[in-house]
Amino acid sequence: MDLTPRTYPHRRRQSPTACLYSDSLASNVIERTRREMFYRTCAQGFPYSRKLTAHVSCVNSLVFSRKGGRWLASAGDDFRILLWDFNQEDLTSPAGCYSGPAGNVLSLDFSASNQYLISGGADNQVLRYDLSRLLSPGVQWSPERPFPALSMYRGHNESVRCISAHAHHEELFFSAGEDGRIILHDARVDRRLPSAQGIYQHTTEFTGVQAHPVMEHVFATSDSHGQVCLRDTRMAFGPLSTRSNEGIVQTYVTKLSKRSFGYLSNPESSSITFDCDGTRLAVTMLHWYPTIYALSDPYPLAICTGRNGPDRNPVPAGERTYSNSCTMKSGAFGGPGISEDILYAAGSDDFRGYIWEIPDATALAGLRQEIPTEEWYTQEWHDVVGYCEELSTTRYVPSEISTPLCRLNGHRSIVNAVAIHPSQFHIVTSGIERHIMLHSPTPSSPVAQNLTSTPSEVRKLTECSPEDEMRFLGALLGTHPTLHGDTGQSDDESQTISLFDHILREEGEGDVFELRPCKDNADDETEENDCVVIDIIRSPLI
């Protein structure tokens, strides 16, 4: 009899820690692969495009739905809101249309789970649409029978500049108006009652509001005086007893200083946006450059310019490049297919869209220069622009991202709106013209086939001719193109382009220090507090 002990093979059990480590490695590999594919795809820019034509006037706002980005919503001066389905195999026409606006639409946003689309504009009202109707069985859409709004909110007395839906609560959304109001709407409560709204009243017009994408009580605001603030809903809304410091938890430094001027400049902050995880905030500034901030740092990390072309060579003297002087523009972060937003996009007065790659915040902070006050006034700082709170404080010179990753062509006039698809390699741009440009790095994609090469040349802004003058007068004195109902390329679009060409000749390329001078707060004893609180509601919202 064999008494040798027998051994039995067995599978070694993997510890939970080892499983997590293995999953983490796999996740890192996937993310690294996605990034490599992202950089390879974007290396040549977005040279292919298609015009999406359905609007009959300027297109002011573009926004993709949350998460997968199935829907693109667009709206503008034709008082219509169009919905484009990015689940189509070859996107050429809208999948739905919404009616209701009685003025130019300036802003759109999707609710937290994409059930609702919310709009605001020059008619002073906020409209809320139910997207589930479009997907209901048996429901067919036609341009002659657009879907009406589900609900209407009339809390503003002037144009609604911006809409931002709460990132977690389906029924909550913000609106910012030129009447100086930020309203936190709660659709669960009867909108006719004052208690359905939290209202914060400012003494100057708001230009932007953005709900933080992660922190449920935090939102950012911008106004026409250049002030950009991070606020907390628990401090900004509700009865007076619960409000404090106008809700402000962080004020970002936006005033500019240049050695050759004895005063500061405060450019208008015309729009703001967060990246996907809310760690960075971008501010679009009129007559200045898009400025990037870290959430918890009041001083800027970077400015995005067009000093160089994508080939890294300086833009030749006399050639137009990035500028923002004439229209309301909005920017967007993005990173198609990867876990963070490493791109920032914005429209420009030179008839292009611009895409910049934004380095890591820590790297940008390390490149930022701090110049003490004494050093600022005792040394030469030729053409250096610093950000500061007052004339007597330290100047912070952010890193300049002077070389865009790529420029988006295809437009004949100013580009105002840019949106980056969250998962697919597509960017959309719009502005003064009636069409939307769909840009791609390849001639075909899962949603668009046989795209054409985008012209590499951009229309030049020429001196005003007698024909241009006639078209300008026709645009100034003629009827609104919305009333024509013509989606073709008629003289109406040429008149609109001539109108904005005239504005560019008159107002373009202005110096922000000459156009927006301001006094140092410490020396201006007559300056009034920009913020007041009006106790309109008597019960806290959230």
For 496-508, give the DSSP string: HHHHHHHHHHHHT
- Residue-level pLDDT at 477: 65
For the chain (542 residues), the mean pLDDT of every run of 10, in chain order, is: 46 52 62 78 88 96 95 96 95 94 97 97 96 76 83 94 97 96 89 63 95 97 96 92 92 96 95 97 97 98 97 93 94 89 96 96 96 95 95 97 96 97 95 96 94 94 72 60 43 80 86 86 42 36 44
In this structure, are residues 291 and 300 in contact, taking their beta carbons and an 8 Å threshold?
yes
Burial class (CB in 10 A: 0-12, 13-18, 19+), 75: buried
| DSSP-derived pairing of the beta strands 172-177 and 160-165 | antiparallel
State the Cα–Cα distance between residues 385 and 369, nearest whole angstrom: 11
Q: Which residues on neighbouring strands pair with residue 256, listed in sequence order? A: 265, 387
State the Cα–Cα distance between residues 484 and 496, nearest whole angstrom: 14
Query: How many C-beta atoms lie closer than 10 Å to residue 412's C-beta?
Result: 16
State the Cα–Cα distance between residues 139 and 345, nearest whole angstrom: 36
477-480: which pairs have CB atoms within 8 A and are 24 or more residues apart? 480/57, 480/77
For residue 425, what are its two tokens? 């390699």
State the Cα–Cα distance between residues 23 and 368, nearest whole angstrom: 37
State the Cα–Cα distance between residues 178 and 157, nearest whole angstrom: 8
Q: Which of 420, 438, 433, 336 is nearest to 94 (CA)?
A: 438
Q: Which of 251, 255, 165 is nearest to 209 (CA)?
A: 165
- Residue-level pLDDT at 35: 77
Instruction: Look at the alpha carbons of 459, 462, 465, 470 in this order and tell me if their dihedral is positive or negative.
Output: positive
In this structure, are residues 267 and 222 in contact, taking their beta carbons and an 8 Å threshold?
no
Report how far apart, in Å, the C-alpha atoms of 334 and of each of 16, 91, 163, 260 are: 35, 21, 19, 37
Give the torsion through C-alpha atoms of 483, 488, 492, 498, to 10 deg: 140
Q: Which of 508, 512, 418 is nearest to 226 (CA)?
A: 512
Token match 């911008």: residue? Answer: 222
Amino acid (one-letter) located at 396? Y
Burial 495-516 (b: 16+ CB within 10 A, else e): bbbbbbbbbbeeebeeebbeeb
- Residue-level pLDDT at 44: 81
Helix (H), strand (E) at residue 281: strand 280-285
- Residue-level pLDDT at 471: 62
In this structure, are residues 441 and 42 in contact, taking their beta carbons and an 8 Å threshold?
yes
Helix (H), strand (E) at residue 476: helix 466-477
In this structure, are residues 191 and 185 in contact, taking their beta carbons and an 8 Å threshold?
yes
Q: Which of 453, 412, 320, 438 is nearest to 58 (CA)?
A: 412
DSSP symbols for 150-206? SEEE---SS-EEEEEE-SS-TTEEEEEETTSEEEEEETTS-TTSGGGEEEEEBSS-E
In this structure, are residues 516 and 267 in contact, taking their beta carbons and an 8 Å threshold?
yes
| CB contact set of 474 (below 8 Å; sequence gap of 6+) | 491, 495, 498
Q: Which of 83, 95, 75, 89 is nearest to 139 (CA)?
A: 95
Amino acid (one-letter) located at 480? H
In this structure, are residues 174 and 227 in contact, taking their beta carbons and an 8 Å threshold?
no
462-467: which pairs have CB atoms within 8 A and are 24 or more residues apart? 464/501, 464/502, 464/505
State the Cα–Cα distance between residues 406 and 343, nearest whole angstrom: 11
Query: How many C-beta atoms lie closer than 10 Å to residue 541's C-beta?
Result: 18
Helix (H), strand (E) at residue 529: none
Determine phi and psi for 142, rounding to 5 degrees: -145, 150
Q: What is the arrangement of strands in the sheet containing 181-186, beginning at the earlier edge strand?
A: 160-165, 172-177, 181-186, 197-201
Q: Which residues on neighbouring strands pair with residue 354, listed in sequence order? A: 346, 407
